[in-house]
Chains A and B, each alone.
Chain A
Amino acid sequence: MSASTPPLSGPTKPQAKALNCPKCGAAIVLRSFGQAETVVCASCHSILDAKDPNLAILQQFEIKTSDIKPLIPLGTRGKLRDTDYEVIGFQRRSTQVDGTTYSWREYVLFNPYKGLRYLTEYNGHWNDISICKVLPTVDHNMFGGSSLTANYLGETYKHFQTADANTDFVLGEFPWQVRVDEKATVTDYVHPPRVLSSEKLDKEVTWSIGEYMYGREIWDAFRLPGTPPEAMGVYENQPSPVTTNVTGMWVAFAAFAMLLLALMAGFDMRANKKPVFGQTYRYNRADSKAETSFVTDVFELTGRTSTVQVKTYAPVSNHWIYLNYALINQDTGQAWDFGREVSYYYGYDSDGSWSEGKQNDEVVLPSVPPGHYYLRIEPEADPSLAAIPYTVDVTHDVPVFGIYGIAFLALLVPVVIISFRSYTFERSRWSESDHPPMQLSSSSGDDE
């Protein structure tokens, strides 16, 4: 908190120093109380020496495009990270990659007690930048070229991009000797939501640390009218919307899968799988004109409410047999009504041999309470079948493995979705870097 820092907007406002441009005579306002090295005349675009009482002209440049306007006007005051700042400088910089020019905007912020701070904006993505207080350490690449990682305050940053940045346009005050068309080598290392940047100009290297900010936060901080420009694409240090540790999710999934396996083994061992009825019958077409339905002997289901499995076997061959079943509780009149077909077909055609169906069938009845039961069976069969035997087996308390299959999928799907979202986001991020995903994969396999 900045309780000891008096706000800029108060009864005793600091007074800006008013001077005139030696080139065009326009008023020059100095807001940074002697911290500026250079100041730019907004009228004639002369870069002036702010340390010189006469504001010596250091450089003059022409505006190449008329649409270069700061999104936050100079002199705007706002509260950033609980500290009041005033925008005192603005510059537009650009870099060329593969013939394409990418430009971004940088704002110099000033607080008389806290000093300087910077904001950058590229395609609606903002960063709050400050100069590093400790020199980062860089892990040098033994093969030459850019370093792959840098460390700052115990955090490791991955190399993202190295590019030459050109200063296209400047306005306001700057705490360094700013020049238009000045080129610096900028190297970015990322650890979202932070970015660590080194800027090399001649032999001088400046390190800065930035943290990603959303346009809405900037608009709120400076009470800007309208809405911030919409963020386009994925920025180098933009935090992923999947704010979780994907590896941790997979570890949790693995733990749940193991628990599920243990659950399956436990219930399988606990299940009685008790055969309670078994009988072979014969279907005769000659008898089908009379009533074909019949009932079985009564069998008893003991223990708790559980599953009942009914298995049917019939040696069909290019035929079918269909059995209308009803498992009926002799005492309560409760019934489970179901029909099962056993059919098996096979043959040969131009594609070779084929087959479909099988000679056995099984069905699991849910939540059958204990009691005395019998089966009502009503068989039907292929008209071409004169007679066929079929066997009916009833087993009490069998495990249903499909439940585990559904549970496994239910556990897997969210992890896959989150992993996919995270992967596509990171892929978009790194596709803009010096290490695009395709290049990484091709270089790793380039052993020949």
Chain B
Amino acid sequence: MFRKLYLLYGALVLSTAAFGQYRGWSLDTINQLKNVPKSVRDNPGSYRSVYGFYHHYTGGK
């Protein structure tokens, strides 16, 4: 019973891994935007990154 379920589950895990790899999934979290104006190419300052106010690490031990 458990073994049959596990075989199904394992097949699902492998299929998901293969599909994810094929579709180019990533583990990094990236913010996606649509319709960025074409003017950015000529005027990069017209675009502001959502990560622009990142609080930088200034430490060390």
Which residues of A approach B to under 8 Å, CB–CB?
242-245, 248-249, 252-253, 256, 259-260, 263, 267, 291, 293-295, 305-307, 318, 320, 322, 324-326, 328, 330, 332-339, 341, 343, 345-347, 349, 354, 356, 363-368, 374, 376, 378, 380, 382, 397, 399-400, 402-404, 406-407, 410-411, 414-415, 418
CA distance A399 to B57 in the complex (A): 30
Contact (Cβ within 8 A) B17 A324: no
How far, in Å, is A231 (CB) from chain B's closest CB? 21
Residues of chain A within 8 A (CB-CB) of B17 are: 260, 263, 403-404, 406-407
Q: In the complex where A244-B3, A293-B45 touch, is A347 in contact with B60 (Cβ < 8 A)?
A: yes
Q: Once the chains bind, are A364 and B38 in contact (CB under 8 Å)? A: no
Interface size class of B (residues with CB under 8 A): 35 or more
Q: Is the CB of B30 within 8 A of A338?
A: yes
Specify which chain A residues have a CB less than 8 angstroms from the CB of B1 in the assembled complex.
Answer: 243-244
Q: Which residue on B lies nearest to A329, using beta carbons?
A: B36
Q: Which residues of B contact A354 (CB under 8 A)?
A: 61
Q: Which residues on the A side are within 8 Å of B18 (C-beta)?
A: 263, 267
Q: Which residues of chain B are near A253, meaning CB under 8 Å? A: 6, 10
The 8 A CB mask of B3-42 against A (1 = contact, 0 = none) is 1001101100110111011111111101111111110110
B44 touches A336 (CB 8 A): no
Asked if residues A335 and B28 are in contact (CB atoms below 8 Å), the reply is: no
Q: Which one, A245, A294, A345, A403, contacts B25 given CB within 8 A? A: A403
Q: How far is the CB of B43 from chain A (nearest CB, A)?
A: 9
| Contacting pair A333 B35 (CB below 8 A) | yes
B residues in contact with A368, CB < 8 Å: 24
- Measured in the bound complex, the distance between the Cα atoms of B56 and A415 in whole Å is 42
Contact residues in A for B59 (Cβ distance below 8 Å): 345
**B41 contacts across to A, CB distance below 8 A:** 295, 328, 330, 374
Closest-by-CB residue of A relative to B60 is A345
Indicate which residue in A341, A376, A380, A382 contacts B47 across the interface (CB closer than 8 Å): A376
Choose from B21, B37, B50, B61 the contact partner of A400 (Cβ within 8 Å): B21
In the complex, are the beta carbons of A341 and B61 less than 8 A apart? no
Report the minimal beta-carbon distance from B37 to chain A, rounded to whole angstroms.
7
With contact pairs A245-B3, A295-B44 given, residues A341 and B26 touching in the complex (Cβ less than 8 Å): no
Contacting pair A252 B6 (CB below 8 A) = yes
Say yes or no: A410-B13 contact (C-beta < 8 A), given A252-B3, A330-B41, A376-B44.
Answer: yes
| A339 contacts across to B, CB distance below 8 A | 49, 51-52, 54
Contact partners of B35 in chain A: CB under 8 A: 333-334
**CA separation between A59 and B42, bound complex, in Å?**
112
In the bound complex, how far is the Cα of B48 from the Cα of A335, in angstroms? 12
A345 adjacent to B61 (CB under 8 Å): yes
In the assembled complex, which residues on chain A have CB atoms less than 8 Å from the CB atom of B7?
252
B27 near A400 with CB under 8 A, answer: yes
Whether the pair B61, A347 counts as a contact (CB closer than 8 A) is yes
Whether A324 pairs with B52 at a CB distance below 8 angstroms is: yes
Starting from the known contacts A242-B2, A366-B25, 5 additional A-B residue pairs (CB-CB under 8 Å) come to: A326-B36, A336-B31, A338-B30, A374-B41, A376-B40
- Taking a contact as CB atoms under 8 Å apart, the answer to whether B21 and A318 are in contact is no
Known: A252-B7, A322-B54, A333-B36. A293 touches B47 (CB 8 A): yes
In the assembled complex, how far is the CB of residue A243 from the closest CB belonging to chain B, in whole angstroms? 6
- Cα separation A347 to B34 with both chains bound (whole Å): 44
Rounded to whole Å, the gap between the CB of B9 and the closest CB of chain A is 7
Q: B28–A363 contact, CB under 8 A?
A: yes
User: How many Å from the CB of A262 to the closest CB on chain B?
Assistant: 10
Cβ contact within 8 Å between A294 and B44: yes
Residues of A within 8 A of B36 (CB): 326, 328, 333-335
Across the interface, which residues of A come within 8 angstroms of B21, CB to CB?
Answer: 263, 267, 399-400, 403
Cβ of B13 and Cβ of A411 under 8 Å apart?
yes
Task: Kindly provide the distance from the CB of A344 to the nearest chain B CB, expressed in whole angstroms.
Answer: 10
Q: Does A367 contact B23, Cβ atoms closer than 8 Å?
A: yes
